[in-house]
Chain A
Amino acid sequence: AQSVTQLDSQVPVFEEAPVELRCNYSSSVSVYLFWYVQYPNQGLQLLLKYLSGSTLVKGINGFEAEFNKSQTSFHLRKPSVHISDTAEYFCAVRNHNAGNMLTFGGGTRLMVKP
Chain B
Amino acid sequence: DADVTQTPRNRITKTGKRIMLECSQTKGHDRMYWYRQDPGLGLRLIYYSFDVKDINKGEISDGYSVSRQAQAKFSLSLESAIPNQTALYFCATSDATGSGTDTQYFGPGTRLTVL
Pairwise interchain contact B90-A100, C-beta atoms closer than 8 A: no
Which residues 74-115 of B sit at the A interface, judged by CB distance below 8 A? Answer: 90, 92, 94, 100-109
Most interface-central of A46, A99, A102, A107 (chain B CB within 10 A):
A102
Q: B108 contacts which of A6, A32, A43, A95 (Cβ < 8 Å)?
A: A43
Pairwise interchain contact A106-B42, C-beta atoms closer than 8 A: yes
Most interface-central of A95, A96, A99, A105 (chain B CB within 10 A):
A99
Q: Nearest Cβ in chain A — how far from B98, in angstroms?
A: 8
Pairwise interchain contact A106-B41, C-beta atoms closer than 8 A: yes
- In the bound complex, residues from chain A placing their C-beta under 8 Å from that of B101 are 32, 49, 51
Q: How far is the CA of A41 from the CA of B101 in the complex (A)?
A: 27
| Per-position binary interface string of chain A over residues 1-33, scored 1 when its CB falls under 8 Å from any chain B CB and 0 otherwise | 000101001000000000000000000000010
**Chain B: interface residue count, which band?**
20 to 34
Pairwise interchain contact B106-A43, C-beta atoms closer than 8 A: yes
- In the bound complex, residues from chain B placing their C-beta under 8 Å from that of A42 are 108-109
Q: How far is the CA of A102 from the CA of B93 in the complex (A)?
A: 12
Tally of A interface residues using CB under 8 Å? 27
Closest chain B residue to A43 by CB distance?
Answer: B106
Which residues 22-66 of A sit at the B interface, judged by CB distance below 8 A? Answer: 32, 34, 36, 41-46, 49, 51
Q: B43 contacts which of A46, A90, A95, A98 (Cβ < 8 Å)?
A: A90
Q: B40 contacts which of A41, A45, A100, A106 (Cβ < 8 Å)?
A: A106
Pairwise interchain contact A104-B90, C-beta atoms closer than 8 A: no
Which residues 21-41 of B sit at the A interface, judged by CB distance below 8 A? Answer: 31, 40-41
Q: How far is the CA of A42 from the CA of B48 in the complex (A)?
A: 21
Q: Which residues of A are interface residues toward B (Cβ below 8 A)?
A: 4, 6, 9, 32, 34, 36, 41-46, 49, 51, 90, 94-96, 98-102, 104-107
Given A9-B40, A32-B101, output 19 extra A-B contacts at Cβ < 8 Å: A4-B42, A43-B106, A43-B107, A43-B109, A44-B43, A44-B106, A45-B106, A49-B101, A49-B103, A90-B42, A90-B43, A100-B31, A100-B94, A100-B102, A101-B45, A105-B42, A106-B41, A107-B40, A107-B42
Please list 10 pairs of residues, one from A and one from B, whose beta carbons are closer than 8 Å in the complex, sorted by A's number: A34-B103, A36-B106, A41-B108, A43-B4, A45-B105, A49-B103, A101-B45, A101-B48, A106-B40, A107-B40
